[in-house]
Structure 1
Amino acid sequence: MDTQLKYRDIIKSVLQQHANHRANLTDGYDSRVLFDDERGHYIVLDIGWNGDRYLHTTPLHLDLVGDKIWIQYDDTEEGIATDLIAAGVPKENIVLGFRHPRIRQHTGFAVA
């Protein structure tokens, strides 16, 4: 299996696990996963009502660009990079896109 297909499967699995966990919380909203394999975009979307407050937010957004996984947004406690590494993705193939390019060189992850 080529790297891109492998990473696509890993991303989908990890995001689905996060969505399932978030859906089990008693906050009154639904967590959904949105996959765009053609363009390499992967998102967890939280949507619904929590009391009188309507929620529509994206706690996780990953892109697959070439053989690198770009974490564009991560609103999790542990950080989704930890889950990607545990699933077999090397740190040098993970880009913390939400970090400024000048800072990325100091993160231990890929710069771009």
Structure 2
Amino acid sequence: MDRINNYREIIQKIILSHTKIPYADENIKLETVFDTTQDRYLLMIVGREKINSKYSATKRVHGCLIHVDILDDKIWIQRDGTEEGIASDLLNAGITKDKIVLGFYDPQIREETGFAIA
């Protein structure tokens, strides 16, 4: 169980570090969702952005930038909308490739990544 608690701490720290990076539009906010009971960790983007520079009209923005789950003693990256990729952050934090699943890839492609398949 210590490993899972360690995963939780690392994932939360990484996601929180991404909230420090300013979003391109100041009307968009970054919100974290940490469910430590079901081990789901999200970074959401929420707000309004201009439709285009010609109009002052805006549209609602609501989406998931990062989604990470802990499943079967592995860290599953379900969604990664970051530039660098959070798999790099996890590796830098000491998580080995065999404990990281790039869930956004098809299982066949996962075989070629060097990361865990499932």
Q: Which TM bucket (shorter chain)?
A: over 0.9
3-state DSSP of counterpart to 1:98: coil
Aligned length: 110
State the secondary structure of the residue aligned to 1:18. Answer: helix
1:105 & 1:2 partners in 2: Cα distance? 28
Q: Which amino acid aligns with 1:80?
A: I
- Corresponding position: 1:65 with 2:71: yes
CA RMSD of superposed structures (Å): 1.2
Distance in 2 (alpha carbons) for counterparts of 1:38 and 1:91: 24
Normalising by structure 1, we get a TM-score of: 0.93
Aligned AA (1:25): Y
Amino acid at match of 2:83: E
For the pair 1:2 / 2:8, whether they are aligned, the reply is: no
Please state how far the C-alpha of 1:87 moved relative to its aligned partner. 1.0
Contact preservation (8 Å) 2:23, 2:29: no
**What's the offset of the Cα at 1:109?**
0.2
Once the two structures are superposed, the pairs formed by residues 1-112 of structure 1 within 5 Å of their partners are 2-21=2-21, 24-27=22-25, 28-51=27-50, 52-112=58-118
Do the aligned residues in 2 keep the contact of 1:72 with 1:98 (CA within 8 Å)? yes
* Displacement of 1:74: 0.7
User: How much identity, in percent, do the aligned residues show?
Assistant: 42
Task: Report how far residue 48 of structure 1 moved.
Answer: 0.4
Amino acid at match of 2:69: D
CA shift for structure 1 position 99: 0.5
Deviations 1:16-50 (A, max 9, x none): 111221xx234021101101111110000000011
State the Cα deviation string for residues 83-111 of structure 1 (Å, max 9, x = none).
Answer: 11111111110000011011111101001
Cα separation, 1, equivalents of 2:20 and 2:62: 17
**Structure holding more helix per residue:** 1
Q: What TM-score, normalized to structure 2?
A: 0.88
Task: Give 1 or 2 for the bigger CA radius of gyration.
Answer: 2
Contact 2:68 2:76 survives alignment (8 Å): yes
